[in-house]
Amino acid sequence: MNIKIVCVGKLKEKYFKLGIAEYQKRLQRYCKFQIVEVPDEKAPESLSPAQMTAVKEIEGERILQKIKDKEYVFALAIEGQERTSEKFAQEIQQLMTYGKSDITFVIGGSLGLSPAVLRRADTQISFGRFTLPHQLMRLVLTEQIYRAWTIIKGLPYHK
């Protein structure tokens, strides 16, 4: 099983890096796990709607270059479907059962994901209606992927 997170921007905060590294280490026994960063598009603080669309499209092209045809793609989007941790684990297990051994999660930049990325996604997933920094979302997602594996394996981590 190969699990990849494709995300926009570099992670600078040491505390996020340390948390993600811990879950990456734990995940090694269950799957091949990697995080792929694509550059964020530099833009001024206040953007017109057309400029926002252009930034999302450029970042979206960079994301799509990192996704292969055979990958099953989860796009993280506030409009996506919320899942419980148990349901998320069940979904990953079903994907494995039906031969989907390459799973990719996509986290957009501060403006979100382009329509092209959302169309490429097999499903959209939401972690609630809160707006979270995309750097924090990497940590939350990595932990939830680890939690899903502990649920699949019947380990006591998930309580």
Residue numbers in the known binding site for S-adenosyl-L-methionine are 76, 108
Contact yes or no for 64/116 (Cβ under 8 A): yes
Among residues 4, 7, 3, 5, which one has the least CA distance to residue 30? 3
Report which residue type is found at 153.
Answer: K
3 vs 39: CA distance, rounded Å: 20
Angle at 40 between CA 133 and CA 122, to 5 degrees: 75
Annotated binding site: 76, 108
- Measured in Å, how far apart are the chain's first and last C-alpha atoms? 25
